[in-house]
Amino acid sequence: MSKNRITPRSEDFAAWYQDVIAQADMAEPAEVVKGCMVIKPHGYAVWEKIQAALDKRFKATGHKNAYFPMLIPESFLKREAEHVEGFSPELAVVTIAGGEELEERYVLRPTSETIIGHFFAKWIQSWRDLPLLINQWANVIRWEKRTRLFLRTTEFLWQEGHTAHATEEEARQEARRMLEVYADVAENVMGMPVVKGLKTRTEKFAGAEKSYSIEAMMQNGLALQAGTSHELGQNFGRAFDVKFQNQAGQLDYVWQTSWGVSTRLIGGLIMTHSDDKGLVLPPNLTPLQAVVIPIYRKDTDREAIVNRAHQAAAALHNAGVTVEVDDREGFTPGNKFFHWEQRGIPVTVELGPRDLEQGVVVVKRRDTGGKEAVAQDSAGGYVTGLLERMQGEMFARARQRLKDNTVVANSFEEVREILEPVSAERGGGKFVMAHLKDDPATDAKIKALKATVRCIPLTDEYDGPGKCIVTVETVPQRVVIAKAY
RNA sequence: CGGGGCGUAGCGCAGCCUGGUAGCGCGUCUGCCUUGGGCGCAGAAGGCCGGCGGUUCGAAUCCGCCCGCCCCGACCA
């Protein structure tokens, strides 16, 4: 059956997620390459929108794009002890090239701190060379045991920012600034509310001093780490001998940061807004905001209506709306409605003989399904206003869901009771706010519940200090505990 | 990497247990009819039955190995 091939969320959330991606024609498993995906045009167009929103903000904060090799000498990874330990299990290594066994093997980059560290050492001599603010758009390879389209694939697309600074304070500000950029894009462009926080020592990036993340909540209540920003301290500076002479004439190692978001964001986007009919894209992120669908009964109507549809599209375009006319022949209007609905286009504009007579168009919004007849003359203004309202309302609904599913717990037993029944397929996930010490031993206790400490929020919206639910020591604030992707 | 499921036409699946001419729905193509939520009727095309090997007169079907996908675990953006 070609009808209704999307499994309802209530039946099996994980199956629903796969179905939405397939029906929206966003991506498919690479089939012949383990764990990899083919990002199809509609999925890639969404990535390009994410890229554009981020890139604009990176440039506005003084960063420049550059590109480094994807092959990294294996020895580079080993220079930072914690880094190699963290990444070794998931490396893919090139051992033969040009028909000969390589003297030194190359790893396919899992992340670029090491090779960029090597070049930073060449580029930086003086405090005048700092700060150095670089971003790279690239693909990376991490050999994960288990993959899911967009959320965790063997190869994925991302950006990685790498910066070097003269002082620890400046590096800290940079890491925090970029976390804010990520939160801005997540919330105001993607309409996906996030919690900004600090990772625990256990969860931080391998080789970092501190890691920050933005954590989003999916419709099943599971957490998704949507972006990370790290203070690397002088760890990579020491490992790669990135030294500079400061204004007092003394040599010092640079203070570095790195930060990244990936195609995983697309997975987050899908699981934030989409419904049982398919993908739902927020107006600020969609490659196409509106589609005009001409409806005609006889061939004699056809020309007049298609012409009028193009006029309507031109009016929308002039009002600043990204719009297309679906004037494909051989498809019924019903067919076209479903086509665009599954692909998440925010607004469809229907134009048939009845509307032509009455001088109106019928505007339908994807998120709520609401329909409204609007005078043709005022359609441009109406749709721009509608798109703006939709963006706001989609974010508000997602934020309300996050709020409704965030709960307070005051004992380990409570946390267990809340999170034990939660699963990706059944849903029921919560963000559980509890006092917990930042200590590998307490993290391990949470892990036994198949949950993790997602972050220690940067702004405490709860009751300040309290007793750790594991160690009973007093800790400064509650942390977010959840099951996660 | 352990446990489970699956791989047959572009897509979704049946057939396999009990070996004997490869089927159904959707889509595609042609024609007619239609077009306000996946129109209808008639006709047609389309297959290394995931791969390799074995058993057999004969394998989609039985056996072994391999590959891939999905789900559940352990590990992670």
Q: Which nucleotides of B are covered by protein (CB under 7 A)?
A: 1, 11-12, 25-27, 29, 34-39, 67-77
Residue where a domain stops, chosen among A353, A386, A419? A386
Q: Choose the weakest-confidence range: A48-62, A291-305, A417-431.
A: A291-305
Least confident segment among A78-87, A320-329, A388-397: A78-87
* In the predicted structure, residue A455 carries a pLDDT above the cut 90: yes
- End-to-end, the C-alpha distance of chain A in Å comes to 31
Per-chain mean pLDDT for chain A: 92
Let me know whether A79 and A151 are in one domain. yes
Whether residue A215 contacts residue A179, with contact meaning beta carbons closer than 8 Å, is answered with no
Q: Which residue is nearest to nucleotide B13 (CA to C1')?
A: A1
- The answer to whether A230 CB is within 7 Å of strand B is no
Where is average pLDDT lowest: A5-9, A128-132, A274-278? A5-9
Percent of chain A surpassing pLDDT 70: 99
- Chain A span 386-425 residues with beta carbon within 7 Å of strand B: 423-425
Rounded distance between C-alpha atoms, residue A165 and residue A208, angstroms: 15
With CA atoms as reference, report the closest residue to A161 among A110, A113, A93.
A113
Question: What's the confidence (pLDDT) of residue A227?
Answer: 95
So what's the pLDDT on residue A293?
Answer: 94
Q: Please indicate, yes or no, if residue A6 is contained in any of the structural domains.
A: no
Chain A 282-341 residues in 7 Å CB range of strand B: 295-299, 302, 330, 332-335, 337-339, 341
Does A283 fall in a domain? no
pLDDT band at A4 (very low <50, low <70, confident <90, very high): very low
What is the pLDDT, as a whole number, of residue A115?
A: 96
Q: Is residue A299 part of a domain?
A: yes
Same-domain pairing of A55 and A153? yes
For the CA of A25 and the C1' of B29, the distance in angstroms is 24
Average pLDDT over every residue of A371-393: 96
- Region A334-359 average pLDDT: 91
Residue that finishes a domain, picked among A273, A298, A319: A273
Q: Kindly state whether residue A334 falls inside one of the protein's structural domains.
A: yes
In this structure, the answer to whether residues A29 and A178 fall within a common structural domain is: yes
Number of domains in chain A: 3
**Does the C-beta of A138 come within 7 A of strand B?**
no
Query: Given this model, what pLDDT does residue A1 score?
Result: 31
pLDDT of residue A23: 86
Q: What proportion of chain A, given as a percentage, has pLDDT over 90?
A: 73
* Shared domain check, A346 and A228: no
Q: Kindly report whether the peptide bond that precedes residue A131 is cis, defined as omega within 30 degrees of 0.
A: yes
pLDDT, mean of residues A317-335: 90
In this predicted structure, what is the pLDDT of residue A3? 42
**Average pLDDT of span A337-344:** 91
The reply to whether A55 falls in a domain is: yes
* A98 and A224 assigned to the same domain: yes
A243, A326: one domain: no
- Specify whether A37 is located in the same domain as A119: yes
Same domain for A253 and A175: yes
Q: What's the CATH code of the domain at A429?
A: 3.30.110.30
- Per residue in A259-308, pLDDT tens? 999 999 999 999 999 998 899 999 999 999 999 999 987 767 788 889 99
Domain ranges, residue A428:
406-482
pLDDT at A2 over 70: no
Say whether the CB atom of A5 is under 7 angstroms from strand B: yes
Chain A 79..108 CB hits on strand B (< 7 A): 86, 89-90
pLDDT at A232 (0 to 100):
96
Same-domain status, A218 and A306: no
Q: Is the pLDDT of residue A470 over 90?
A: yes
Same-domain pairing of A381 and A410: no
Does residue A7 lie within any of the structural domains? no
What's the CA–C1' distance between A342 and B30, in Å? 30
Calculate the angstrom distance between C1' of B59 and CA of A31: 27
* Residues A143, A92 contacting (CB under 8 angstroms): yes
Which pLDDT belongs to residue A471? 94
| Mean pLDDT of all residues in A339-359 | 92
Q: Is A185 a member of any domain?
A: yes
Across the range A70-90, mean pLDDT stands at 89
Average pLDDT over residues A175-201: 97
Q: Which nucleotide is nearest to A364 (CA to C1')?
A: B37
Question: Which residues in chain A, range 249-278, keep a C-beta under 7 Å from any nucleic strand B atom?
Answer: 260, 262-264, 277
What pLDDT does A54 receive? 98
Nucleotide nearest to A342 (CA to C1'): B38
Q: Would you say how long chain A is, in residues? A: 485
Residue predicted with more confidence, A41 or A178 = A178
Residue A36: CB less than 7 A from any atom in strand B: yes
CATH of the domain at A55: 3.30.930.10
User: How many angstroms is C1' of B17 away from CA of A1?
Assistant: 27
CATH code, domain carrying A320: 3.40.50.800
Q: Of all nucleotides in the shown strands, which has a C1' nearest the CA of A228? A: B77
pLDDT band, very low/low/confident/very high, at A28 (cuts 50, 70, 90): confident
Residues of A 147-166 whose CB lies less than 7 Å from any atom of strand B: 147-149, 151-154, 156, 158
Lowest mean pLDDT among A21-30, A125-134, A334-343, A448-457: A21-30
Strand B closer than 7 A to residue A21 Cβ: no
- pLDDT exceeds cutoff 70 at A152: yes
Check whether residue A76 has its CB closer than 7 Å to nucleic acid strand B. no
Asked whether residue A2 is assigned to any structural domain, the reply reads no
Residues A149 and A216 in one domain: yes
- Is A481 a residue whose pLDDT tops 90? yes
Final residue of a structural domain among A239, A273, A307: A273
- What average pLDDT does this structure show over A429-441? 95
Do A164 and A64 share a structural domain?
A: yes
Interval A59-63 mean pLDDT: 98
- Please tell me the least confidently modeled range out of A98-107, A225-234, A281-290: A98-107
Mean pLDDT to the nearest integer, A86-95: 86
CA distance A203 to A215: 13
User: Is A448 near strand B, with its CB below 7 A from some atom of it?
Assistant: no
